[in-house]
Amino acid sequence: MATDAAGLVKILEKVAEKISENREFLTELDSAIGDADHGINMSKGFSAVVEKLHSQKIDDCGAILKTVGMTLVSTVGGASGPLYGTAFMKAGQAVAGKSSLDFQDFVTILEQALEGIKYRGKAQRGEKTIVDSLEPAVDILKDEKDSGDKGLVMEKALNAAKEGVEYTRSIIAKKGRASYLGERSIGHQDPGATSCYLMLQAAIEKIKEMSVNGL
Shorter beta-carbon distance to another protein: residue 62 or 85: 85
Q: How far is the CB of 52 from another protein (least distance, A)?
A: 14
Tell me the angle at which helices 5-21 and 23-33 cross, rounded to the nearest 10 degrees: 60
Buried b (16+ CB within 10 A) or exposed e, 115-150: bbbbebbebebebbbbbbbbbbbbebbeebeeeeeb
Shorter beta-carbon distance to another protein: residue 37 or 127: 37
Q: How far is the CB of 205 from another protein (least distance, A)?
A: 29
Task: Give the binding site for another protein (CB under 8 A).
Answer: 35, 37, 40-41, 44, 73-79, 81-83, 85-86, 120-121, 176-177
Shorter beta-carbon distance to another protein: residue 181 or 210: 181
Ordered alpha helix ranges (H), 23-121: 23-33, 38-55, 61-75, 80-94, 103-121
CB of 71 within 8 A of CB of 99? no
Q: How far is the CB of 96 from another protein (least distance, A)?
A: 17
Shorter beta-carbon distance to another protein: residue 11 or 76: 76
Shorter beta-carbon distance to another protein: residue 10 or 177: 177
Residue 211 burial (10 A CB sphere; 0-12, 13-18, 19+): exposed
Q: How far is the CB of 77 from another protein (least distance, A)?
A: 3
Please name which of 111, 14, 4 lies closest in space to residue 61, comparing C-alpha atoms: 4
Q: How far is the CB of 38 from another protein (least distance, A)?
A: 11
